[in-house]
Amino acid sequence: MSDHAIDEAFETAVKQSYPVLRRLERNSESGIDLRLAPLDVDSSRASDEEIEAEFERRWEAGGLHFMSSYTDIMTNKVINEKAAEFIRRKIRAKIADPKMAEKLLPQGYPLGSKRPCADRGYFETFNRENVSLVDIKEDPITGLVETGVETQSGLHALDVVVFATGFDAVTGAIGKIDIQGIKGKPLKESWANGPRTNFGFMTC
């Protein structure tokens, strides 16, 4: 994430620059003013060394800078895999147990097709003696009991269970507006089992 403390002078300077920043954001592809502008070249014009250096530069900048590197990072499997492996190396370097690290790596899907974990200390948490990891793909949950969570391998004793099931980010806000389609059918009713569109443009 490249989080850092900010001082009062920085905060004041940003607030005084709001009109300029808003103009930059409105004219950017992502709607965000990035400190490092997105590259306007695809990866075919860069050597492996240049690609590595560019990834490193954007990694240090943090946030969304990494995914705004080469123009073909989301359309070219080769550069996408290079980017994914770069991130995997960064994660492996943070986790002492190699087997645990492998379970936490983004893999099996193109980088960027799921939201990457922009962390500050998240991965290092798994180095603590009082933290363990259960991969429910390998050891599925079979039940929730008074003393913890049961998986196929047995009981994991817990004092508290936090249900972190995500949030309703996009369709949630739209569903709160009473948008009605053909014959007054509410959009939220059409989307009850998930949104469906015609080429991303229309929905019934």
Question: Of 43, 29, 38, 81, nearest to 61 (Cα)?
Answer: 38
| H or E segment to which residue 143 belongs | strand 141-145
User: Per residue in 109-159, pLDDT tens?
Assistant: 999 888 878 888 999 999 999 999 999 999 999 999 999 999 999 999 999
**Alpha carbon distance 167, 8 (integer Å):** 33
The model's pTM: 0.73
**Alpha carbon distance 41, 47 (integer Å):** 12
- Render each residue's pLDDT in the chain as its tens digit; 204 residues: 877 788 999 899 999 999 998 988 888 766 777 777 778 889 999 999 999 999 999 998 887 788 888 999 999 999 999 999 999 999 999 999 999 999 999 999 999 888 878 888 999 999 999 999 999 999 999 999 999 999 999 999 999 998 876 677 667 777 778 888 888 888 888 878 776 776 666 765
With beta carbons less than 8 A apart as the criterion, state whether 106 and 87 touch: yes
Coil, strand or helix at 16: helix
Rg of the chain on CA atoms, in Å: 22
3-state DSSP of 40-82: CCCHHHCCHHHHHHHHHHHHHHCHHHHHHCCCCCCCCHHHHHH
